[in-house]
Amino acid sequence: MEEIASNFIHDIIDAELAAGPSEENGWRDYVHTRFPPEPNGYLHIGSAKAIYINYMTAKKYGGKFNLRYDDTNPEKEDPEYVEAIYRDLCWLGACPDEESEYGGGVYYGSDYFDKCYEYAVLLIKKGLAYVCDLSPEEISEYRGTLTTPGRESPWRNRSVEENLDLFERMKNGEFPEGSRTLRAKIDMASPNLCLRDPAIYRIKNTPHYRQGTKWHIYPLYDYAHPIQDAMEGITYSLCSLEFENNRPLYNWVIKNIGVFRPEPRQIEFARLNMTYTVMSKRYLRRLVFEGHVDGWDDPRMPTLCALRRRGYTPSAIFEFIRRAGISKTNSIVDIELLEHCIREELNATAPRRIAVLDPIKVTVINYPEDKVEYFSLPNNPGDPDAGTRELPFTRELYIERDDFSENPPPKYHRLKPGGEVRLMGAYIVKFEDIKRNPDGSIAEVLVSADLETGNGMPADGRKVRGTIHWLSTKHAASVDVMLYDKLFTVPNVGDIPEGKDFTDYINPDSLVKIADAKVEPSLADCEPGDKFQFVRTGYFCRDTKHPNTFNRIVTLKDSYKF
């Protein structure tokens, strides 16, 4: 994993560490970060940016990195997502376990419920929180707008004693959901709507997947999050730009509880948005549950489990994030940069193999019927150390259907009437004739081989411009191939005309399924997840769910412009 480039976040950290701990900088003198996902869905490539920034920042400063599940909403959490999130972090190389070099541990927000309650009682005793009987709709109405101040709740000035009594009864389950909230008492005239007496506890009688039925009240994220950070010793709470307006509330909670040393500092960065895809969990859930894709790990999805299944590597994903940069300005990154990063990596590392996706039979009429000959082909022409493999050659072969044309266009250098081509790594062959099916379609192409050209150029020095790939019909294995493409037809899925739904722009050709493609015999024994370049075709990965299937990771052609 390449070191993270310097950025504005590190400029802030450098300045604080150089100044030394003080009240002004919250007594911060070390670096401890965290990644706090809500376990209500699968992580996606946007999540990978947050992981990258937090993990690599901890690594740069010799600090620690925590995984904390933000499981404070009992209606959404699911153990399935808890397991998937941990698996994705470890796959990325950002293992949070304490045994790993930079791991600070795995934590659960729900384990802090007792402390969150204790600190809420402290705020009530300080006169900084009160129980409010307004309904959610009334709270929204009383909050006001950006241009009009809010109105104080009729219950804002309840006594400390009454608030303590009501809050305890809320905890004990004496009131129905939605009837009461605990609100922070801040400033109903603040220009920041987040500070207009935000709710910090709400009543929910839903059992929690880890805590069971113990709790009837649950802390809201903006209250629980800074407490959790502080209790874990987090010094830098690095999060996306959407939380920028919430930072004053984050600081208010830390300062007014007043018991934490060091005090965590929240710093925001721009989220990762990418062309031709969506990152919203709501949209991703719709894609899955409305059947537009085949599950969370459908290789067209931006989820990490989908990218892993498609054949993307952690190093390519992090290289993409590194090149996209870290800033405070939101932008949309071209998906072709991600494709460029995996293409660049696999060009250097992926073994070459031959696959014929749309086969047509070729018979070498002057080659013995029972003879099998082996030709040596390089595993990676750019890496001599990768070695070679042996490919069997026989009288009957497969070539790609579009590598032969009866009526070729200008500058067509593949097999054609009257022409010659080189069979990759083997003989030069010359067109002789065609056999047809009863419907007139081509059943077989007949060629003759120059049997003196197996190890080099023809003796007469003639030049043959075209080279095509091939496989022996007796030895080729049959597989299914999935040709994946962009999931949407428009680059900015978030900017669509009024009255349209994002699903209206799903690409109908985002998946083309090819049955009974032909591949080198060695591919029958490769492992799920193994990656290859199918020569002249693209980069492919053996599927992890359907072993006889290969998924296209990316095409050979690189159209990204720097």
pLDDT in tens, 345-361: 999 999 999 999 999 99
Are residues 364 and 449 both part of a single domain? yes
Are residues 93 and 178 both part of a single domain? no
pLDDT in tens, 213-237: 999 999 999 999 999 999 999 999 9
Give the end of a domain, one of 469, 495, 525: 469
CA 522 vs. chain centroid, Å, equals 31
Give the end of a domain, one of 274, 293, 318: 274
Q: How confident is the model at residue 506 (pLDDT cuts 50, 70, 90)?
A: very high
pLDDT reading at 519 higher than 60: yes
Q: How confident is the model at residue 2 (pLDDT cuts 50, 70, 90)?
A: low
Are residues 464 and 320 both part of a single domain? no
> Quick one: CA dihedral 111, 115, 118, 120, positive or negative?
negative
pLDDT in tens, 129-173: 999 999 999 999 999 999 999 999 999 999 999 999 999 999 999
> Quick one: CA dihedral 502, 503, 508, 511, positive or negative?
positive
Asked, for residue 360, whether it belongs to a domain, the answer is: yes
pLDDT reading at 418 higher than 60: yes
Are residues 80 and 184 both part of a single domain? no
Q: What are the residue numbers of the active site?
A: 38, 271, 281
Are residues 136 and 77 both part of a single domain? no
pLDDT reading at 6 higher than 90: no
**CA separation, residue 521 to residues 48, 49, 296, 518 (Å):** 37, 39, 32, 9
Q: For residues 223 and 200, is the Cβ–Cβ distance under 8 A?
A: yes
pLDDT for res 547: 86
**CATH number, position 465:** 2.40.240.10
Asked, for residue 520, whether it belongs to a domain, the answer is: no
As a whole number of angstroms, the distance between CA 209 and CA 383 comes to: 52
The residues, any chain, with a CB within 8 Å of residue 134's CB and separated by 6 or more, are 142, 153, 154, 155, 181
Q: Provide the number of structural domains found in the chain.
A: 4
**467-468 and 420-423 strand pairing:** parallel
Q: How confident is the model at residue 4 (pLDDT cuts 50, 70, 90)?
A: confident
Q: For residues 256 and 227, is the Cβ–Cβ distance under 8 A?
A: no
As a whole number of angstroms, the distance between CA 469 and CA 485 comes to: 24
pLDDT for res 5: 78
Structure tokens at 168: 């305890």
Question: Which residue range forms the structural domain that includes residue 141?
Answer: 114-219
Q: For residues 153 and 186, is the Cβ–Cβ distance under 8 A?
A: no
Mean pLDDT for the chain?
96
As a whole number of angstroms, the distance between CA 375 and CA 388 comes to: 10
Q: For residues 490 and 507, is the Cβ–Cβ distance under 8 A?
A: no
**CATH number, position 144:** 3.90.800.10
Structure tokens at 224: 């629980």
Give the end of a domain, one of 469, 503, 525: 469
pLDDT for res 458: 87
**199-203 and 217-219 strand pairing:** antiparallel
The residue with tokens 């809010």 is 150
